[in-house]
Structure 1
Amino acid sequence: MKDKKKKIGFSHAWNGIKETVKNEYNFRIHLAATLVVVVCGFIFEISLLEWMFVFFAIGLVLVTEMINSVTEAIVDYIKPEYHPQAKYIKDAAAGAVLISVIIAVIIGTIIFIPSLYKLL
């Protein structure tokens, strides 16, 4: 019985990811950026430690984007009309995504800039 519940839970989780990809434009942008970064990682043959940081940064951005999407959906569901507090909640969630993206860009810069210099 426990295995069936685990499979159902995984099914719901996978469905949540699919729906986010389907419905959230910014999430698809982040996935495209992920593809570019992973390809660059292979081209520049980054180290195992660098891969760990890259995947941490990718995960951070994707998770915060999903949390932002859920936060916006909940706020719109509970408070469809404009309210200053609802705006703050949505703006703060979007700000969390921005912070995660800035962190990812810093990590990417630290890892990839030396490799780019080697090409020049």
Structure 2
Amino acid sequence: MDSLGKRYHRLVRSFGYAFQGLFNSLKNEQNMQIHFIAGTLVMIGAWILELPRNDYIVIFILIGGMVSLELLNTAIERVVDLVTEEYHPLAKQAKDIAAAAVLWFAIISFIIGCVIFYRPFINFVTNL
């Protein structure tokens, strides 16, 4: 196999590993399942309310950020668990800080979502 073929094969394989990580997380992590369901419901709500394109862009960024942070949080938890099975304050801090990053982004995403959805939702309800 030539150099270009090897690089292409490595690239395809790396995408495969990334998808394995995503699907493993979706299958085994309850929080990832919650984020996936919430993101799907948000997208359905955006479609029903016929939000403008710019709002969709913001929503996609927020959902992508949320999923990315949850994946990083899961990876950090796994690495900490791999390094030590014993309780250690630094291991706890690492896990807590990673979880806090997810929580903070979720709070900010919720606030932004309320700003985006408020007026279209009120208009939708009043026009029923």
Shorter-normalised TM range: over 0.9
Q: CA deviation at 1:111?
A: 0.7
TM-score normalised per structure 2: 0.91
Matched, 1:19 2:29: no
Shift in Å, 1:2: 1.2
Residue identity opposite 2:95 in structure 1: K
Contact 1:72/1:90 (8 A) holds in 2: yes
**Unaligned stretches of 5+ residues in structure 2:** 1-5
Alignment pair present for 1:51 and 2:60 = no
Question: Using the alignment, how far apart are the partners of 2:69 and 2:18 within structure 1?
Answer: 16
The question of whether the paired residues in 2 share the 8 Å contact of 1:57 and 1:103 is answered with: no
Matching residue of 2:85: 80
| Aligned CA-pair RMSD | 0.7
Distance 2:85 2:68 in 1: 24
TM-score, length of structure 1 as denominator length: 0.97
* Higher-Rg member (1/2): 2
Does residue 1:101 correspond to 2:67, yes or no? no
Determine the C-alpha separation between the residues in 2 that align with 1:80 and 1:110: 43
Return the offset for 1:103.
Answer: 1.5
Gaps of 5+ in 1: none
Deviation at 1:106, TM superposition (A): 1.2
* Number of positions where the alignment pairs a residue of Structure 1 with one of Structure 2: 120
Percent sequence identity is 34
CA shift, 1:104, in A, is: 1.0
SS of equivalent to 2:51:
coil
2-side partners of 1:64 and 1:16: how far apart? 14
CA distance in 2: counterparts of 1:35 and 1:100, whole angstroms: 17
Residue equivalent to 2:46? 41
Q: Summarize deviations over 1:39-58 as a string: whole Å, max 9, x none.
A: 00100011110001001110
Partner of 2:95: 90
Per the alignment, residue 3 of structure 2 pairs with none
Q: For the Cα contact (< 8 Å) 1:27–1:62, is it kept in 2?
A: yes
